[in-house]
Amino acid sequence: MSVKSIAAKIFATIIHKKTQRWVQNPIETQQKVFQNLIASAKETQFGKDHNFAAIKSFKDFAEQVPIRDYEALRPYVDRVVKGEENILWKGKPIYFAKTSGTTSGAKYIPLTQESMPFHIEAARNAILNYIYETGKTDFVNGKMIFLQGSPVLDEKNGIKHGRLSGIVAHFVPKYLQKNRMPSWETNCIEDWETKVDAIVGETFNENMTVISGIPSWVQMYFEKLEQKGNKAVGEIFKNFNLFIYGGVNYEPYRSKFENIIGRKVDSIELFPASEGFFAYQDSQKENGMLLLLNSGIFYEFVKSDEFFTDNPKRYTIGEVELNVNYVLIISTNAGLWAYNIGDTVQFTSLKPYRVIVSGRIKHYISAFGEHVIGKEVECALKVAMQNSNIRVNEFTVAPQIAPIVGLPFHEWFIEFENEPENLEEFAIKIDNEMRIQNSYYDDLIVGKVLKKLVISKVSKKGFQDYMKSIEKLGGQNKIPRLSNDRKIADLLKRTEKR
């Protein structure tokens, strides 16, 4: 065993013990985070506007601070972007993570001196936790690649901004620099296809042991490697044994990845966002990711089916239940307060608190009152593919409210790697599972309000062409699993006709 492997095991044990201290005291930990946040921000403009000085309990906070999304918080954010101090958090942010909003154009999410370390530590601790659980350390001696956005940062009123993954690239520890790929120059390439080609060239002959990124874009990297080497990725990288991912559910990609790699590899799921690093997979045996309760983030939860009602009940960590769909609400040491990030989660365990990401509160189908969520369509597809050689590259679902003939239906746009022999039979399997997953959908089928779902095949690389057409190819951009309208569906069909 190498010196680096021995050191990694020792460090992993230290971090595990530190983590267990707050894991064993979740409610007290969150209460301390809450009190520190309120005390730290009571002299900010937001704190004064919402009477933080008088807040003594969560009940006080819920009465004083309404749930907001980015648009609602934007008057404060705009002042921070202009360079004003002590608006949402004390002083000024050290960075803005710039993201593209669907309705608000560019979004600037503040990253502060207090919040930034948690983004780095959480990713590090996810790997150390894996080492502690499995005892595996061989990968630390090889090369690691993190497919991410460009680290080139712009500046606005004295504060640097860029993609979160690009900002994080500036914080890679020195002990990882020699192992980390691609090169800085390649990482700075903006065009995604050009960048992936360059990454393939740099990594092809290296001892790659860890590969990380959003599955849909790692898939493009793997396909290019396979084309170049004319063999499975696992043969090219014989010591590749750990895949780290986040952003989307890996299950729809798992079969395709195992085929293109040529074998199974361990994986670690992460739940990062510009607004905070919320959870990571802490067990290779249990379902869900450990919710990070000691990372400068106070969590609230609102039941999804109550979210759009007047004054929905806001739950804290000690009040949540298993298998309920919650909208995730956060208050952070970057100055986001009762902030709706748009993700929905379900708890798979309460000892410790583990979650899965079940979808997006804005990404659902309820054109007929069925309220289908992302977890349901992903599960239905997974079940339909079981015990078959069918493999799917990408998919999305939209309602067809006004077909030319017949009843309305859900239209599934699927890009197959390996197609089913009988598409209609495959559609029935998915539909049957959807009826098990969602009782409202079943009622609509039984009541002949909807007919069974229809699959529309998307040509190879069709989703890549679509993302390229809307200038969102690569990086942290993802295909929504669900839309309650036909915007993506119609654009996909237009892209297919070109």
pLDDT at 309: 86
Token pair recorded at residue 15: 């971090």
pLDDT at 177 over 80: no
Q: Sheet of 297-303: strands edge to edge?
A: 180-181, 143-146, 208-212, 242-246, 266-273, 276-280, 289-291, 353-360, 339-350, 326-332, 297-303
pLDDT at 496: 67
Q: What is the largest CA-CA distance in the chain?
A: 69
**pLDDT confidence band for 498 (50 / 70 / 90):** low
Q: What pTM does this model have?
A: 0.81
- Answer whether 23's CB lies under 8 Å from 64's CB: no
Q: How far is CA 218 from CA 145, 173, 260, 393, in A?
A: 10, 23, 11, 12
pLDDT at 156: 85
Of 37-51, 186-200, 358-372, 405-419, the one with minimum mean pLDDT is 358-372
Domains and CATH numbers, the chain: 1-361 (3.40.50.12780), 374-497 (3.30.300)
pLDDT at 367 over 90: no
Beta bridge partners of 95: 111, 160
- Answer whether 411's CB lies under 8 Å from 400's CB: yes
412 CB-near residues (< 8 Å, 6+ apart): 377, 395, 396, 397, 427, 430, 453, 454, 455, 456
Give me the sign of the Cα torsion angle 119, 122, 123, 124: positive
Query: Per residue in 302-335, is it b (16+ CB within 10 Å) or e — as a string?
Result: bbbeebeeeeeebbbbeebeeeebbbbbbbbbbb
How many distinct helices (H) and strands (E) make up the chain?
Answer: 18, 18
Beta bridge partners of 156: 159
Degrees to nearest 5, angle at CA 19 with 318 and 30: 30
What mean pLDDT is predicted for residues 54-83? 96
pLDDT at 237: 97
Give me the sign of the Cα torsion angle 424, 426, 432, 437: negative
Of 398-402, 449-453, 466-470, the one with minimum mean pLDDT is 466-470
Token pair recorded at residue 465: 């062409």
- Answer whether 465's CB lies under 8 Å from 413's CB: no
Nearest residue to 181 via CA among 153, 212, 152, 157: 212
| Amino acid of residue 491 | L
pLDDT at 371: 78
